[in-house]
Structure 1
Amino acid sequence: MIPIVTPTEMSAIDAAAPVPTDVLVARAGAEVAIAARRMLGGTYGRRVLVATGKGNNGADGRVAASVLARWGVRCGVATPPGALELVVAAHGRSCAPWDLVIDAAYGTGLRGPWGADQAPQVPVLAVDIPSGIDALTGADHGCWPAAATVTFGALKPGLLLPPGTTAAGEVQVAPIGLDATSAAAWLMTDADADAVLPTLPPSTYKWRRAVRVIAGSPQMRGAGHLVCAGAQQAGAGMVVISSPGLAAASVSRPTETVARNLRPGRWAAAALDGIDRFDAAVIGPGIGVDPTSAAQMAAFIESCPVPLVVDADALAAVAEHPDCLRARTAATVLTPHDGEFTRLTGAAPAADRFGSVRQAAADLGAVVLAKGPTTLVASPVRPDASTRPAAVLAVTAGTARLATAGSGDVLSGVIAASLSGDAADPETLLSLVAAAAHWHGRTASCEAAGPAAALVPLLAAAQVDLLEAARIELARSQPDRRRP
């Protein structure tokens, strides 16, 4: 996984570096120069403007300019005010005076505007983070949007949170000799997800990975169907569904799913019957938010003895009956979008989204998967004998294509199917949940989606169909991994 650190944490990592600052600057500047050469497509005859401030960020830029000059690039170096004036003046010319602008003006040290109201007419390469983007929150106080960013040692939250993620362009983490293993937040990659997700041992059988689903209602029959389909495609050998108020014959479900009756009214006890046979359960999608349904969902959550994914309407039930989480002994995963997060916690996610989701997990005593352009998965448990915050894993595999009705239902099924391993261990649980979210997110961009896929939304049923192809692509990230 790729470490993610706050500006404060990065300062501590810099201070603890085993080599002098000038060595780190030389390495960072060289990495910037290499990235610039790649963007320029060569060096001979190329022209570059480098905006350099007073701190280490500016020093990185000056080293990059020196390296590029040795390679034959004509470099102009200017202070931030001077670079701004040159960029504004260049807009009156018919031909841009540079092929590339390197933003080494301020980096993570700036938390406000610096006058970058007019962007250069040529691509921008940002050093560490686009100047004007808050490294903690991703807030844009005025920046030159970058085509690419070279950051050092670790990612910063502002590179992963909008609008910072868009302003940063393609991000490269350059290793320059900094030790970021103390990070409390990490970005999941394809290889990470593939290494964590369960595989099918030769001795498996259908009840080895069984998922119980309580979802759907007479008004929302499709929600339960999508949960079941997601769970089955993600590897569940047996899926059993009940929809409150629907006879088994009327429950919408995939052909292979078993349905059980669940009469309206006080149905929680009946839904818990035989629950010990299952490895995980899902509750919430499409059930409804009337007081009776909320009370029954809360009763099921409180007494369910297996790992449980709480989604959609069940999140509203938790908000109304928060005590239902406190009695739980098995793993609990809450999957709110921002509106549900606000109802659960009493406040919208803060600008420091990583910190806000981490705090919610601690307060609720459950893993919290906060959906968004960057999905954050937070553990309620701190590492043993450590003063570090509890871990947060970031998932960026999804795209806006997944913003369709039923997408969250599919995700809930995928998570539940993935919890058939040792979900009792907090670290394993966190990794499994994030890996499931990453897998689901990859359906938006996997090769099977086709070259024009990015142009259209991806319906939930299509996400189910693409899970197999997405899983194969995850496996390709580790071609030498031996599978049973």
Structure 2
Amino acid sequence: MIAIVTPEEMRAVDAAAGEAPDVLIGRAGSAVARAAVRMMGGTYGRTVQVIVGKGNNGADGRVAAQRLAAQGVRVQLYEAHACPTALPPADLVIDAAYGTGFRGTWRPPAVGDTPVLAVDVPSGVDALTGEALGDVLAATRTVTFAALKPGLLIPPGSDLAGALELAPIGLEAQASARAHAHLVQHAGVALWVPCRDTAAHKWRAAVRIIAGSTGMTGAARLAAHAAMRAGAGMVHLSAPGTLVAQAPAEGVQRPLPTKGWAPEVLDTLDRFHSLVVGPGLGRDDDTAAQARMLAVEAPIPTVIDGDGLFAMAWNADGAAALLRRRTTPTVLTPHDGEYTLLTGAAPATDRLVAARRLAADTGCVVLLKGPATVVADPHGAALVVTTGDARLATAGTGDVLSGIIGALLAAGVPAL
């Protein structure tokens, strides 16, 4: 996993660095120059426009300009505060105007179709939240240093940053030590998933799913199929008041009455290792009451999704007070609308803070869905996932996610 640090944490890393600032600036500027050469495909006959500010970003840009000029590149420097409204044609523009500490706005020049290489963060992007602070010169590529910044991973900042390149400058260990968030990578996920041992049997990773309702059985079907595909040895599925057509052939359907079903489910959880409650369950008063009873009293790791989250929010004491009564690992999977139901307010622009706050209030692991999904635990540790795309903005993907998480919890994977 790759460390993610806030601008404040990065400033602390810089302040505690055991090397002179000029040394670190030299390394950063050299990394920018190398990225520039790669983007241009060489140096011969190339022209680069470099926009520089007064801070460390500008210093990085000046070093990059020196390195490129030494390799024969034609380089033109422009001060950010006196930059023309349009730059002449070039092979590359380097945006070294403003960095992670920038809080104002600026008016970037027009660059036409010239590729842009941003230094640390595109000028005008909030490195904490990803918000655009006025006009931003959209980058083709961004070179950032020592650790990733949240604003490079969260839209619109992630879109404005283009391709990300993390360059080492000698502060990686210090940044990693201060980081409380990390970017998830494929290799890391592969290490989390346990292998079945030779003595495994179907009841080693059993998942109980309470999902679906009349007219909403697709959610239950998707969750059950996902749990089976994600490695559950046994899946028992119940949709109160109805049966689910085309449920997994390997699974078991256990009928439940339309009302008053929670005690029956609680009495049959002894052989199961996780519970999924909520996808397509419905929102009538009795269903919500049964979902609350089940979620609070279930003695096994539990995923609460969809209508289960609505049920948690729809009570006089509030979701946090209810969920803090749970004694086993719990994963909440809200999108922004469900987050608003649970807390009474939309997620903050700092989505890491938003997820951490709900996790701390509820004592649960919170998976806050979005273009960059944030997963946070009650103690402040967080993971960010950026591998999803617009295909996930499709009905049913959340149901699949809940089934996958249920299977992983059943296999013994920690909630975070």
Specify the TM-score bucket, using the shorter chain as the normaliser: over 0.9
Partners of 1:117 and 1:34 in 2: how far apart?
24
Cα displacement string for residues 256-303 of structure 1 (whole angstroms, at most 9, x for unaligned residues): 110001001100011222212111110001110111110000000011
Q: Contact (CA 8 Å) 1:120, 1:144: kept in 2 or not?
A: no
Preserved CA contact (<8 Å) 2:374 2:383: yes
Letter in 1 for 2:262: A
Give yes or no for contact 2:232–2:411 (8 Å, CA) kept in 1. Answer: no
Q: Report the residue type matching 2:377 in the other structure.
A: S
Instruction: Tell me what 1:48 maps to.
Output: 48
Q: Is the 8 A contact 1:29 1:62 kept in 2?
A: yes
Question: Structure 1's 270 and 252: CA in aligned 2 closer, same or farther, altered over 3 A?
Answer: farther
Q: In the alignment, is the contact (CA less than 8 A) between 2:55 and 2:98 conserved in 1?
A: yes
Structure 1 or 2: larger helix share?
Answer: 1
> Deviation per CA, 1:221-253, whole angstroms, max 9, x where unpaired?
111000011111010110000001115xx5551
> Quick one: distance in 1 between partners of 2:222 and 2:111?
45
Determine the structure 2 residue equivalent to 1:191: 187
Distance across 1 between alignment mates of 2:360 and 2:138 = 36
Seen in structure 2, the aligned counterparts of structure 1 residues 295 and 251 have a Cα distance that, compared at 3 Å, is farther
Q: Distance in 2 between matches of 1:129 and 1:199?
A: 40
Which one of 289, 293, 310 corresponds to residue 287 of structure 2?
293
The residue aligned with 1:106 is 98
1:317-396 equivalent positions in 2, closer than 5 A: 317-321=311-315, 322=319, 323-381=321-379, 390-396=380-386
Q: Equivalent residue for 1:429? A: 415
> In structure 1, what is the Cα distance between the partners aligned to 2:112 and 2:188?
37
* Aligned with residue 217 of structure 2, among 206, 210, 221: 221
Alpha-carbon distance change, 84 to 278 in structure 1, aligned in 2, over 3 angstroms: farther
Distance 1:275 1:84, change over 3 A: farther
Name the residue aligned to 1:284.
278
Query: Which amino acid in the other structure matches residue 369 of structure 1?
Result: L
Cα-to-partner distance string for 1:32-55 (whole Å, 9 max, x where unaligned): 011000100111100000001111
Shift, 1:83, TM fit? 3.2
Residue equivalent to 2:296:
302
Alignment of 1:420-459 (within 5 A): 420-422=410-412, 428-430=414-416
Contact kept in structure 2, 1:299 and 1:324, CA below 8 Å: no
2:266 counterpart (259, 272, 292): 272
Q: Secondary structure at the match of 1:409?
A: helix
When the two chains are superposed, the root-mean-square deviation of aligned CA atoms in Å is: 1.3
TM-score normalized by the length of structure 2: 0.96
**Which amino acid in 1 is paired with 2:92?**
L
8 Å Cα contact 1:119-1:145 kept in structure 2: no
Aligned to 2:126: 134
Map of 1:79 onto structure 2: 79
Taking the aligned partners of 1:227 and 1:66, their CA distance within structure 2 comes to 57
Once the two structures are superposed, what CA deviation does each residue of 1:98-131 show, in whole Å capped at 9, x if it has no partner?
1000000012121232012645430000000000
For the residues of structure 2 that align with 1:118 and 1:205, how far apart are their CA atoms? 64
Distance 2:120 2:328 in 1: 41
CA contact (8 A) 1:106 1:131 kept: yes
Give the match for residue 20 of structure 1: 20
Q: Which residue of structure 2 lines up, in the alignment, with residue 148 of structure 1?
A: 141
Aligned partner of residue 54 in structure 1, secondary structure = coil
Structure 1 unaligned runs (5+)? 91-95, 382-389, 431-484
The structure-2 alpha-carbon separation of the partners of 1:298 and 1:251, relative to structure 1 and needing over 3 Å to count, comes to farther
**Could you tell me which residue of structure 1 aligns to residue 253 of structure 2?**
259
Aligned length: 408
User: Deviations 1:327-367 (Å, cap 9, x if unpaired)?
Assistant: 21110000000000001011101111111111111011100
**8 Å CA contact 2:86, 2:110 repeated in 1:** no
TM-score by length of 1: 0.82
Q: Indicate how the Cα distance of structure 1 residues 117 and 276 shifts in structure 2: closer, same or farther if over 3 A, else same.
A: farther
